[in-house]
């Protein structure tokens, strides 16, 4: 095989199975489409079955309704994926939520609900999928962290969100080291400001957008396609010697 052929195939996922959580909208929907376009068989999971069905019709992915905070749902999701497609090679832990409220006013139940979805559920999905990856001796886990897991978001007030994403970064390192010698890689993808349901309020508010333009080295929101390369790098053999890392795509926000 020539160098040109090697490079062409480097980011391909032909013959592999990918599972994406939180795939009914936003970045998760894009991730499912990109992985499918790169040759993977994709299982797209989320709570909103109607949106998943639309994605399945458009992109040929397998839609499975799942609430990742429900332990039984998670076990069914993993079993369904393995039963239907035989294996899981790539896991993208994308499901997540945020709230914006001053720390002194945030109810404990709200803090717990953010941590439950963004950290505990992420760990459970990774644990369940990880058992299959460890048994087959290979796999790539991609956790959705955030630039908010690396630096404070103030004047945005997101104590629970920043705490949860910081935990994702640390959990990524721990799992990567535990599983590295058993063939399973674990990395994080940390976007900065991108258009999602969680940032709709900012997009519709000129003061917020002016704040981003004034403070971001690249003075704008990212566009969804600007995560494609990092996603495929982490999912494919292009990152075969990369584990325990957090790839930040934030327009330079954390470099300030």
Closest alpha carbon to 99 in 83, 86, 112, 80 = 112
Query: What is the distance between the alpha carbons of residues 115 and 78, in angstroms, rounded to a whole number?
Result: 22
Query: What is the distance between the alpha carbons of residues 251 and 192, in angstroms, rounded to a whole number?
Result: 7
C-beta of residue 42 within 8 angstroms of C-beta of residue 21 = no
C-beta of residue 51 within 8 angstroms of C-beta of residue 115 = no
Can you say whether the dihedral through the CA atoms of 192, 124, 43, 135 is positive or negative?
positive
Other beta carbons within 10 Å of 219: 13
Would you please indicate which residues are annotated as catalytic (active-site) residues? 161
DSSP 198: G
C-beta of residue 117 within 8 angstroms of C-beta of residue 97 = yes
Strands (E), the chain: 17-21, 41-46, 62-65, 90-93, 139-144, 184-191, 246-249
């Amino acid at each position: 095989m020539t160098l040109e052929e090697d490079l062409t195939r480097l980011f391909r996922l032909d013959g592999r199975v990918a599972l994406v959580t939180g795939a009914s909208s936003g970045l998760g929907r894009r991730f499912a489409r990109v992985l499918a376009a790169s040759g993977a068989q994709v299982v797209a999971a989320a709570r909103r079955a109607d949106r998943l069905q639309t994605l399945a019709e458009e992109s040929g992915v397998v839609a499975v309704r799942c609430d990742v905070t429900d332990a039984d749902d998670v076990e069914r999701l993993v079993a369904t994926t393995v039963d239907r497609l035989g294996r899981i090679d790539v896991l993208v832990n994308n499901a997540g939520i945020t709230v914006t409220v001053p720390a002194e006013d945030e109810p404990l139940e709200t803090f717990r609900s953010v941590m439950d979805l963004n950290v505990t559920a992420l760990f459970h999905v990774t644990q369940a999928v990880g058992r299959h990856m460890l048994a087959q001796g290979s796999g790539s886990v991609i956790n959705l962290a955030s630039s908010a897991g690396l630096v404070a978001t103030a004047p945005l007030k997101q104590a629970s969100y920043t705490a949860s994403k910081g935990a994702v970064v640390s959990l990524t390192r721990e799992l990567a080291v535990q599983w590295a010698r058993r063939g399973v890689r674990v990395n994080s993808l940390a976007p900065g400001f991108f258009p999602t349901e969680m940032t709709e309020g900012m997009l519709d508010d000129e003061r917020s957008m002016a704040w981003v333009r004034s403070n971001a080295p690249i003075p704008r929101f990212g566009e969804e396609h600007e995560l494609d390369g990092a996603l495929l790098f982490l999912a494919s053999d292009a990152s075969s010697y990369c584990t325990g890392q957090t790839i930040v795509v934030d327009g330079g926000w954390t470099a300030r």
